[in-house]
Amino acid sequence: MRYSDEELLNHLKELYIKLGRTPTKRDLEKYDAGTYTRHFGSWNNALIKADFDVNRRSYTDEEILGWIRNFYNTHGHSPTQSDFIKQFKDTKLFRNRWGNWSNTLKEAGVSVRKQYPKLSEEEMIDRLVEQVLKKRKNKKTNFALIIF
């Protein structure tokens, strides 16, 4: 199906209003990025035609690591990958430099969140019972232990 320039650009403008920012390829709802590329020659050309700033920016290692340190100091914990994506839009920025998120956090000198082991339902119940029994042992009051 052939779409008009106006139709495609209006969709981008609708997304801009909805998102409050220039849309990315991931934000597309009605048409795919390939449609824009075929129609305008590239994704950036479509954004330019829609009167959006095309802000392809490269970041230095220190800008990325500084943002992570600042986030840590402001929030009291390390940022998640989701926090990073909200700021920088792309995980390639750290994956291409440091390999993975844990290495990136280490490079920034902030704590890496603990990775908890995946437990089966039975293991979770065993741990819960163990904790309840510990608490029961340390209290003088008696309470019922309910196991499903």
Write the single-letter amino acid at 143: F
pLDDT mean for each 10 residues of the chain (148 residues) = 90 90 89 93 90 74 93 90 85 89 94 72 87 72 54
In contact, 113 and 78? CB cutoff 8 Å: yes
| Dist. CA 91–CA 57, nearest whole Å | 14
Q: Which pLDDT score is estimated for 10?
A: 94
Q: Which pLDDT score is estimated for 146?
A: 55
- Name the pTM for this structure: 0.44
Domain edges within the chain: 5-49, 58-148
Total Cβ atoms within 10 A of residue 36: 25
Q: Which pLDDT score is estimated for 142?
A: 54
Helix spans in the chain (H):
5-19, 33-40, 43-49, 61-75, 81-88, 92-98, 101-108, 121-138
In contact, 39 and 7? CB cutoff 8 Å: no
* Residues whose CB falls within 8 Å of the CB of residue 34, separated by 6 or more in sequence, listed in order: none
Total Cβ atoms within 10 A of residue 144: 5
